[in-house]
Amino acid sequence: MTVFIILIALAFVALIAVSAINRKQEREQLRRMQQRKLKLKVDAIVDIVNCLEQTLPNQLIAKHINDETIVLLQQILALETGSKTHYENSLRHAAARSEDFTNARTVNTASYQKESDAQIKHTQLQLAEAATMLRHICALGKITDVELEAFTNQLSWAFLMVSVTSFIAQGHKFSHLGDRFSAQSYYRKAQQLLMDSLHPDARRMRMIKELSELIEGSRESISRDLMPERLISE
């Protein structure tokens, strides 16, 4: 009888131990899952920031988006139970990047112009994601409604210009090759996008007018203040 009681007690202790181990494993799995989700969010935001850095002259938009990676990396760091060196380095890098964006509010190396349809679509998708993120950031009170309106106007203009300037650049390329018919086709595509748009930026009407002159042959290129980034080797 005593042996039976001891066996039951041992079995009970074993069940408790197994249950404790299972709970620990479940907590660890949950922690890792949370970290993975946060890492995926960080990677997605970094892609957006990289796109903004290469496309938009105003680096403050990239700065506000990049600040969200700092928040997420802090959460990842808080969840880490092992070595935190990697995440600490990532956090320092993200903070330094935001500081760089703040110090360099505008850059001359950014370009709306893209090399392929795939790049155009990818860039426009990232610009749309950035606008969605800015609305969330505004809802959190991190930027004002006035800033949100200004930033989203810049993003919507960039969304339009990514296609327009890429078409114009293609038109210039064919024009320099002596293929006037193909050049006019690309200029018309760019002009139609501008005409279909309701964007209030005053530059839109100027570009429509100058594209008409390009199509007619009375102008050789778009004014530099309208399209300052690289066009083609001139």
**pLDDT confidence of 77, banded at 50, 70, 90?**
very high
Average pLDDT over residues 41-47: 97
Which pair of structure tokens corresponds to residue 184?
């006019």
- Identify whether the C-beta of residue 170 lies closer than 8 Å to the C-beta of residue 115: no
Does residue 232 surpass a pLDDT of 70?
no
pTM given for the model = 0.84
Average pLDDT over residues 127-156: 97
**pLDDT confidence of 225, banded at 50, 70, 90?**
confident
Average pLDDT over residues 143-171: 96
Q: What is the pLDDT of residue 157?
A: 97
Instruction: Summarize pLDDT for 169-223 with one digit per residue, the tens.
Output: 999 999 999 999 999 999 999 999 999 999 999 999 999 999 999 999 998 889 9
State the average pLDDT for the chain: 89
